[in-house]
Structure 1
Amino acid sequence: MFVNNPNIKLPEDPNTIVWKYMDLSKFLDILISGKMFMSRSDKFEDQYEGTFSEPTFEEIKKISENNPKFLDYYKSHRENVVISSWHTNEYESFAMWQIFTKNNEGLAIQSTIGRLKEALNAERSFEQYIGEVNYIDYKKEHIPFDDAFFPFLFKRKSFQYENEIRIISDVSANKIAIDNGLKIDVDINKLIEKIYIHPKSENWYKKLVIEVVSKLGFNFSVEKSDLESDILI
């Protein structure tokens, strides 16, 4: 279920548009299972996930001199935090198509902040929070640590193009061991507003996606990417 945390920054407008780019197999897994995958934070490609900037780390080291468990907690905490990443943008992103899809196939889920909140209420075992990622200079800028989620809501400036919103959950209290990640229940009809098909895909691919969505009993619209609209000249 979605839980509001006043410490976590989030766009105020519930109609803020968010996107998730993926291949067809991951999309089908969501539709068939009714669940969304959240990746364990220390399994991301970026090794800095859930860590601190240099100024913050120096501060934590001083605190840990008299309390070693303080630093140990932050190190082990990464194994208990799971994340689902979304891209904030009013429009499609050419860069996101390039990074997250292959072979001119794939699709993008279009949703909104408000829809994400509603969709997450289908999950009853794990609490989810939604937060905006801050992009900073890890050599110079400070990451606050008065909230356990803050290390997971900051990234290096090199990733600023991601313009990321994160669904984030801490499973520590559930006392479970997670491997690569965790699947949580979601309301698919709330989660998905529209589906956009890869701009370079063939017509048969769009027809396939439409047919699969229909046979599984969903009625959200499926559209070809706007990046491949007809040229006016």
Structure 2
Amino acid sequence: MYLNNSNIKLPEDSNTIVWKYLDLSKFLDLLLSQKLFMSRSDKFEDQYEGTFSEPTFEEIKKLSIDNPEFLNYYKTHREKVAISSWHINEYESFAMWQIFTQNSEGLAIQSTIGRLQNALQPETNFNQYIGEVNYIDYKKEYIPFDDMFFPFLFKRKSFQYEREVRIISDVADNSIKINDGLKINVDINELIEKIYIHPKSENWYKNLVIQLVKQLGFDFCIEKSDLESDILI
């Protein structure tokens, strides 16, 4: 279950397709634990993750002159927020396969916005939101800071290709310590609509994935990648 926040935007159509590209070990961990791994926000490759744009930062600095703890709180809050990233796209993305998988191995989970919402299990210890990322010019544009989730829903324009939707968990109100990340309870069968296997993977790898999914008691629809289609001449 997730919390609704009228300030956080999402595609209106709950059938909007989203993808998660991952390697086999992370996929197996998801199936075996039936928990979704979320990365701590300050561990992302993008050093700007969870930070503010320059106009917003200037405003926060002014507010911090009389209250230095105000700025420190925003800095340390990044250690209390975990994120699971999903990619909005009607179709598979060649670029996403390249970025998030290696050695022609890996999988893509196909889901929808509605499935993400329904797959989240109620958490009593922390708040969760699902929101679409806004891509802005960090030198010129303003990020509102009246809501602690907002810094995590903005990224620089150079990341626009990600077309990202995020599940965000915030444990700031309790004593949970996030090291590299956080695992949250999910309904696996609701979360996963289809699985696509890397288009350049070998047959033994495809058969291995199919066999592992079956042995673990799941019957997901496993699709042949559209990028693997035979050439017609």
Provide the TM-score with structure 1 as the length reference: 0.97
Tell me the residue number matched to 1:61: 61
Within 1, Cα distance between the matches of 2:151 and 2:210? 40
Within 2, Cα distance between the matches of 1:112 and 1:22? 17
Q: CA deviation at 1:114?
A: 0.4
How many pairs were matched up?
233
Runs of at least 4 residues of structure 1 off by over 2 A?
121-127
Tell me the residue number matched to 1:137: 137
With over 3 angstroms needed to count, the CA separation of the structure-2 counterparts of 1:208 and 1:172, relative to structure 1, is: same
Residue-by-residue CA offset, 1:158-213 (whole Å, 9 max, x unaligned):
11111100000100112121111111111000000000000101122111111111
Provide the TM-score with structure 2 as the length reference: 0.97
Unpaired stretches in structure 2, ≥5 consecutive residues:
none
Query: Are positions 1:185 and 2:165 aligned together?
Result: no
Q: CA deviation at 1:121?
A: 2.3
Question: Secondary structure of 1:218's partner?
Answer: coil
Q: CA deviation at 1:127?
A: 2.8
Within 2, Cα distance between the matches of 1:230 and 1:133? 35
Q: CA deviation at 1:155?
A: 0.5
| Equivalences for residues 185-204 of structure 1 within 5 A | 185-204=185-204
Q: CA deviation at 1:126?
A: 3.3
Within 1, Cα distance between the matches of 2:107 and 2:137? 32
Q: CA deviation at 1:129?
A: 0.6
| Equivalences for residues 95-134 of structure 1 within 5 A | 95-121=95-121, 123-134=123-134
Within 1, Cα distance between the matches of 2:33 and 2:140? 44
Within 2, Cα distance between the matches of 1:203 and 1:122? 39
Tell me the residue number matched to 1:149: 149
Task: Give yes or no for contact 1:206–1:224 (8 Å, CA) kept in 2.
Answer: no
Within 1, Cα distance between the matches of 2:114 and 2:121? 12
Unpaired stretches in structure 1, ≥5 consecutive residues:
none
Q: CA deviation at 1:123?
A: 4.5
| Equivalences for residues 1-233 of structure 1 within 5 A | 1-121=1-121, 123-233=123-233
Task: Give yes or no for contact 1:122–1:186 (8 Å, CA) kept in 2.
Answer: no
